[in-house]
Amino acid sequence: MKAITTKQRILNAPITRILFGLLVCFIAFILAQQLTGKLLDLTTLDKNYRNLIKGIISSAAVIGAYSYFYKKYEKREITEFSKKGIAKYIIIGTLIGIVLQCLTILVITLSGGFEIVSINPISNMIIPFTVAFSVAIFEEILIRGIIFRILEEKLGSYISLLITAIIFGALHLANPNSTLQSGLCVGIEAGFLMGAAYIYARNLWFPIAIHFSWNFMQSGIFGAITSGNEKTSSLLTTKISGSDLITGGEFGPEGTVQAIVFCLLAAFILIQLSKKKIVNPYWKEGNN
């Protein structure tokens, strides 16, 4: 048997594969954003449509970079972006995100804290649509496609789920108007839900679709603050008021107690449906 060299051990180490993957995807995203932006600035297209095109190209560049890099590095087929079942996972994932966000807003409405001020042109949804799908693709590739997937190989599904949920919540602490409560909310609801979605489908289309529709409904349809960022244009101009526990305050509806409850319930259901897909940590596998 051929001995494994120190160099091979380092290159095959989980932390190395994670760091290289993150670097490749960040570079691909930044380059695509910069180059596409400069080219589109030469056109007469409306700014919103330029941003839409830039978002599509940048997202495609990250998917392409991820797929090419790990296909060569790990010498395998990239099943995370398999075309098999893609329509099913995108449709179901989108519906899950829509339902969860609507339930979250429903609780605010029942508490008397949601008021529709006006209904705006459909074109108002272009910006939040662009942001929602770009963020969903980029974050799911980084957190679920790279960090969770590689950690899961050694630590198993449950420990990796916990670690990536903590990372996801911690990253959102850097957002405007974030608090420890909002970071915990995002980590618990989104971290566990998106991880569970990946375990269930074993592809990234499913968590991307859930992530996208959750964010888009929140900002593009209901006109709510998303992750503490400034409001964008939206289909509905709304006024949200009431207790921060129910409304999320300046962070938005995803920082609410009901969002945690609904998303955790969805995550629990997905995990229960994924029992045969759960990966054990390496020390348990060794005992089988």
Q: What is the pLDDT of residues 97-151, one digit of tens each?
A: 999 999 999 999 999 999 999 999 999 999 999 999 999 999 999 999 999 999 9
Tokens linked to 278: 């759960």
Determine the pLDDT at residue 270.
97
Is residue 157 within 8 A of residue 198, CB to CB? The reply is no
- Give the C-alpha separation, 60 to 27, whole Å: 13
**Cβ atoms within 10 A of the Cβ of 178, count?**
21
Q: Tens of pLDDT along 6-16? A: 888 898 899 99
Helix (H) or strand (E) holding 239: strand 236-240
Task: Report CA 31 to chain centroid distance, whole Å.
Answer: 21
Q: Quote the DSSP letter at residue 124.
A: G
- Give the C-alpha separation, 250 to 128, whole Å: 18
Determine the pLDDT at residue 1.
45
Question: What's the Rg (C-alpha) of the chain?
Answer: 20
Determine the pLDDT at residue 287.
56
**Cβ atoms within 10 A of the Cβ of 76, count?**
9
Determine the pLDDT at residue 284.
79
Helix (H) or strand (E) holding 244: helix 244-247
pLDDT band at 192 (very low <50, low <70, confident <90, very high): very high
Task: Determine the average pLDDT of the residues in 210-230.
Answer: 92
- Answer whether 0.75 is exceeded by the pTM: yes
pLDDT at 273 over 90: yes
pLDDT band at 235 (very low <50, low <70, confident <90, very high): very high
- Tell me the helix, strand and coil percentages in the chain, rounded to 5: 75, 5, 20
DSSP helix/strand/coil, 196: helix
What's phi and psi for 95, nearest 5 deg?
A: -65, -40
First to last CA, the chain: 24
Closest CA to 207 of 105, 18, 54, 80: 80
Percentage, residues of the chain above pLDDT 90: 79
